[in-house]
Amino acid sequence: MIDHSPKPPDALMRAIAQDLKPVKPSPRPLRLALETAPLALLVSSIILLAVGIRGDSGILGPLLTWGASAAQFTLAILLIWIAAHESTPSGRLPKGSVYSVTVAALLVVVAITISTFSISPVGSTLHVAGTLRVVPPLIMDLACGIGSTVAGGILVLLFSWMFRNSLGIRPTVAGALYGAGAGVAINAGWRIACPFPTLRHALGAHGAAIIATVLLGALIGGFLGGRKFHSADRDS
């Protein structure tokens, strides 16, 4: 039986005293989410610098080209804000709201994809190194799928570093949410560059990349949180 006096047990005190270096308090969820925005914008814009804006942007118009991507990007930051709340022990949001926003974000991505396809079903050719190229669909699927997964993966790693002190609880759920944020943010930039509007390509290759970043975020978040939890276990 452990002594229930208000004095901490010796073993606990020893474990605490071993590691008492000062720490910087984690920012509030909104600030943490806003701090991720410039990084997300930078990484998601790289594809635009590499291949330029899709050739059919004139047909799509500014609303469906830039406006839709801005909406996706805002949803991505919202998902990251929810992730920051989910990992705060006393700041969790209602489960219903978390699930609703997550599903809504994914539905918005699907709706934008369908709208883009309905207005410009043919798409355009790809600019590579200043020349127009006709690229086989399978190669485009692989390029977009792998490319946006790698870009999303980089963003997930950066977010994991930013969240490293903020994973108080539910690290797997928080990781999946900021992974979803990373995936949606990357897709916001990628869709302005990718000239292939077909649903198979846009939902298959780009959608798979979003799913991959969700899984990667969940894995890294779970690993970071689990490591923290189990190291506490070992100390006891």
What residues make contact with other proteins under the rule CB under 8 A? 1-2, 4, 6-9, 11-13, 15-17, 19-28, 86-98, 165-170, 228-229, 231-233, 235-236
Closest distance to other proteins from the beta carbon of 35 (Å): 13
Angle between helices 207-235 and 95-119 (to 10 degrees): 160
Contact 124, 133 (CB under 8 A): no
CA 8 – CA 140 distance, rounded (Å): 61
CA 87 – CA 178 distance, rounded (Å): 11
Measured from the CB atom, the residue of 100 and 118 that comes closer to other proteins is 100
CA 30 – CA 32 distance, rounded (Å): 5
Closest distance to other proteins from the beta carbon of 121 (Å): 43
Measured from the CB atom, the residue of 170 and 206 that comes closer to other proteins is 170
Measured from the CB atom, the residue of 14 and 200 that comes closer to other proteins is 14
Contact 77, 37 (CB under 8 A): yes
Measured from the CB atom, the residue of 12 and 42 that comes closer to other proteins is 12
Closest distance to other proteins from the beta carbon of 232 (Å): 4
Distances in whole angstroms, Cα of residue 197 to Cα of each of 44, 68, 184, 203 = 18, 14, 17, 9
Tokens of 233: 């276990």
Measured from the CB atom, the residue of 19 and 38 that comes closer to other proteins is 19
The closest alpha carbon to 169, from 64, 79, 86, 48, belongs to 86
Closest distance to other proteins from the beta carbon of 222 (Å): 11
Question: What letter represents residue 117's amino acid?
Answer: F
Tokens of 136: 């086989």
Closest distance to other proteins from the beta carbon of 10 (Å): 11
Measured from the CB atom, the residue of 173 and 212 that comes closer to other proteins is 173
> In the block, which residue shows the tokens 């452990």?
2
